[in-house]
Structure 1
Amino acid sequence: MADGAPSQIRQIAGGAAGNLVEWFDWYAYSAFALYFAPAFFPKGDTLAQALNTAGIFFIGFLMRPIGGWLLGLYADRQGRKAALTLSVALMCAGSLLIAIAPTYAQIGIGAPIILLVARLVQGLSVGGEYGASATFMSEVAEERRRGFLASFQYVTLIAGQLLALGLLIVMQAVLTEAELMDWGWRVPFVVGALCAVVVFFLRRGLVETAAFKAVTAAEHKGLMRRLLAHPRPLLTVLALTAGGSLAFYTFTTYMQKYLVLSAGWSKIDATRISAFALLGYMCLQPLVGALSDRIGRRPLLIIFGVLGTILTVPAMHAIGGATDRLSGFILIMAALTVLSCYTAISGLVKAEMFPANIRALGVGLPYGIAVAIFGGSAEYVALAFKSAGHESGFFWYVSIMCAVALTAAYLLPDTKKHSKIET
């Protein structure tokens, strides 16, 4: 970067801080879902309430493509900084709405409708955040350390989820289960909204990337037409995201519920093991990112595809049968290590496929479509398979989609050698 290393570090830190808050807010929903589900839905069995909250979690994902499209266009026309600032403002609004939402007992069907609206706003925010963040962090990173520096997108993404789980662990220790289900579940959404306000002002201090500044006024016109002129990168992003996001949400977001509902663990044990596993997973991201700077991006994507295809089914069966907490942790960490070969470099690989004038849109839109269909539905599909008595069918589904990602990775020229990010 022309401004030098110190400026680069500040840029990466500024983009990462916002990403962390975005994903803390997003994952707080999943981490606390077991506690707030009865507040928004009629009384019933635990599995039915889990299905209801998972359904709204999935519907929120349907806004991802719209967010990727609208904020992608905004980022490619008005700048990465402007899009990142807008996305965190939207996330703040969604979190605040959940924090103050009345319950089903108070207003009936209006309660889940308010929850749905809040998740739609958050989905719009996160859908735009991914493309803008991946583009911004890839463009400000120097070429020789681009994999390492860009991996902090997922470091902060995982850190946001980890902080949500960490807050849950603390609250489980200081509050009773009745207090958590009564009012405690509102706390993370208040915290998220307040942190988003801080990051909003932090992001206003970011410096626009040189790559965006170099785009001419004429290149800002007809962005959708220009994007459709790159069908192969679009299909590649779709395929990689389909398999990668499904595996990611299976082994992170859904894993906590899987340990409770299928392995028979207590909520507290499942939360703690998930938190420790996510901490290890977070630390793996920069290591794998740095490895990609040495050996390239494509070999790592192929490793993820091959091992994800072969090992998902036996790994999920083994985790589901793990009664010993240490063995469960080791199995989850093994799966997350394989997954790191995708997540550490996923945003960078996608950004390296597109020219600067359509980069945020090219990353955000196909990512949003694929993650809405496959990643966002992971929890709901898994619970539906379980409810139907065919839980292992979900494991095979994940394995097949990893094979789809493998095919895309195999056909992909190594983006490290053929990057479209200006050096």
Structure 2
Amino acid sequence: MNAPTLASAPANASTKTSRAARTRLVMAAAVGNALEFYDFTVYAFFALVIGKVFFPVNDPVGQLLLAVASFGVGFFTRPVGGLLIGMYADRAGRKKAMLLTLGLMALGTAMIAAAPTFAQVGIAAPVILVIARLIQGFSAGGEVGASTTLLLEQAPSNRRGFYASWQFASQGLSALAGALTGVALTATLSASQLESWGWRVPFVVGTAIVPVGWWLRRTMEEAPRESIEAAPKAPKAPKLPLVTVLREHGRAVLNGLGLTIGGTSAHFIIVFYLSIYGVKTLGLPGWTAMLSGCVSGAILFVVAPIGGYLSDRIGRNKLAQTTRILLMLAIWPAFVILNKSPTAGTLLAVVTVLSIVHSLNVGPTGAMLGELFPRSVRATGAAIVYSLGVAIFGGFAQFFVTSLIVITKSVMAPAWYVIGCGVLSVIAVACMRDRAKEALD
């Protein structure tokens, strides 16, 4: 009678330990990732002020274009960071790669916080800004592959979508934090104070809280016992993971790019660009646009895990296709309504509806990307397709759309951009096998 009791105790303890380790893992990946993308978010929200401080062009539109272009230049190094850090994660471990990305992001953020303005050092100011953005882009390119892969590999087999969804939920948390910072500063500081020193505050805050993310990642467990036991003979990473990915998984790369293109175009338009659109095109006050960022960030943080959970139950492809088509159908009338009734209430209503659909759509995306590749090259493959898609169709989304509005004289350009990218995503998902009910490896 005593033997079963004694035998069951370690099993129960092991289960509790495993559950605690997974909870700590989600916190480390989510909080660390949120800290990384917080810096990208606050730059987007303060693009108008940064344009005035670093690019003294007489034309306000020219200032905005240069500011969002410097925002986009960081995405040039995303594919490079995705490749190099992804390979490092496959060969040295996900944890070491995640610590590296956090350290690099801290460096880039500190450089922006302390950067002199054009009035102080002339052309050196935008040069320093661009270098900092390149470092941040390199870091973010490797962050997604390493952290998403770690979440996916350590999740219970029937909850991979939910666990991986925290990658994108944490981006919503960062958008919320960045927008709240912007609202607080805009409400308490004058325009001259914002241009003088107020814009630096969010970047100082981002630098100061990096140690929290570092501590969480430094002390987390990388491989739970049951994950190792489930695949004791998993192949080691090849010496040249990129060659293996391109040679043996070309179709997975194309499908992953298509999936990423649809999600990232919608993300940067809904979460980031609408705040600028509200000010520059609709003529709304700055605090209203910032508030829209708070709404979209909060919704992404809450709803993305719901999307991940649903994908574990009903299938990833079905959810991804349905919500993508709904978003494509909604984006055009949303911009029509915005321009016919350019009020704060309309903007917030549109952002709320679009953000809910978008958040449900990106919920399963992290798991879908990771499930495209085997363990030996998973971080490299996921990082490459995500960073390339985001670099091309996300990083320069604001620049492309702003330019299209100027060239075509049409305020509907953002809607057409999201619809066009959405078509590519629908095609890609149609070519993917749904692996929600299959073993990961």
In structure 2, C-alpha distance between the alignment counterparts of 1:164 and 1:139, rounded to whole Å = 30
Decide which of 329, 351, 355 is 1:310's aligned counterpart.
329
Note if 1:395 corresponds to 2:395.
no
1:315-344 CA-to-partner distances (Å, cap 9, x unmatched) read 222223333322322221111122123211
Q: Which residue of 2 aligns with 1:10?
A: 24
Say yes or no: does 1:45 pair with 2:62: no
Q: Is the 8 A contact 1:101 1:114 kept in 2?
A: yes
Task: Indicate yes or no: 2:187 matched with 1:173.
Answer: yes
1:52-201 equivalent positions in 2, closer than 5 A: 52-201=66-215
Residue type at the aligned position of 1:344: G
Deviation by residue 1:234-274 (Cα, 9 ceiling, x = unmatched): 11111111111011101111110011111221111111133
Q: Which letter does structure 2 place at the counterpart of 1:244? A: G
- 1:259–1:320 contact (8 Å) kept in structure 2: no
Matched, 1:266 2:266: no
Shift of 1:149: 2.3
Amino acid in structure 2 at the alignment position of 1:226: T
Gaps of 5+ in 1: none
Q: CA deviation at 1:142?
A: 1.2
Percent of aligned pairs sharing the same letter: 34
* Counterpart selection for 1:225 from 204, 218, 243: 243
Aligned to 1:390, the other structure's residue is in SS state coil
Give 1:256's aligned residue: 275
Q: 2:436 aligns with which of 398, 404, 416?
A: 416
Q: Which has the larger radius of gyration?
A: 2
Normalising by structure 1, report the TM-score.
0.95
Question: C-alpha displacement at 1:217, in angstroms?
Answer: 7.0
Cα distance in 1 for residues equivalent to 2:111 and 2:340: 39
SS of equivalent residue, structure 1 residue 337: helix
Equivalent pair of 2:175/2:293 in contact (CA under 8 Å): no
Work out the CA distance in 2 between the residues paired with 1:373 and 1:154.
Answer: 19
1:293 paired with 2:312, answer yes
Per-residue deviation, residues 268-288 of structure 1 (Å, max 9, x unmatched) = 111113312321232111222
Contact residue 285 and residue 344 of structure 1 kept, 8 A: yes
Structure 2 residues not aligned, in runs of 5+: 1-13
Give the distance between the partners of 1:309 and 1:36, measured in 2 at CA. Answer: 32
Give the drift of 1:103: 0.6
Aligned partners of 1:391, 1:143: CA distance in 2, in Å? 45
Contact 1:128 1:364 survives alignment (8 Å): yes
* TM superposition outliers: structure 1 runs of 4+ over 3 Å: 210-220
- Judge which range, 9-18 or 38-47, deviates more: 38-47
Deviates more, 1:288-297 or 1:390-399: 390-399
1:59 and 1:378 map into 2 onto residues whose CA distance is: 12
- The Cα of 1:24 is off from its aligned counterpart by 0.8
**How much is the aligned-residue C-alpha RMSD, in angstroms?**
1.8
- Aligned residue type for 1:311: A
Matched-pair contact (CA < 8 Å) for 2:323–2:357: yes
In the TM superposition, what whole-angstrom CA distance separates every residue of 1:149-207 from its partner, at most 9, and x where no partner exists? 22111111110111011111111222212111110111111111121233223211121
Question: What is the aligned partner in structure 2 of residue 366 from structure 1?
Answer: 385
Instruction: Report which stretch shifted further, 311-320 or 225-234.
Output: 311-320
Letter aligned with residue 270 of structure 2: F
- What is the deviation of 1:349? 0.9
Aligned residues of 2:262 and 2:418 also touching (Cα < 8 A):
yes
Q: Shift of the alpha carbon at 1:232? A: 1.4
CA distance in 1, matches of 2:340, 2:86: 43
Are residues 10 and 39 of structure 1, via their aligned partners in 2, closer, same or farther at CA, if it must alter by over 3 Å? Answer: same
Matched, 1:404 2:418: no
Kept after mapping to 2: 8 A contact 1:89/1:197: no
Note if 1:242 corresponds to 2:256: no
- The amino acid of 1:191's aligned partner reads V
Post-superposition Cα deviations, 1:30-59, rounded to whole Å, max 9, x if no partner, equal 122222221101142322111111001111
Secondary structure of 2:74's partner? helix
Rounded Cα–Cα distance in structure 1 between residues aligned with 2:56 and 2:240: 48
- State how far apart, in whole Å, the 2-side matches of 1:390 and 1:272 are: 25
Q: Distance in 1 between matches of 2:84 and 2:36?
A: 17
CA drift at 1:305? 2.7
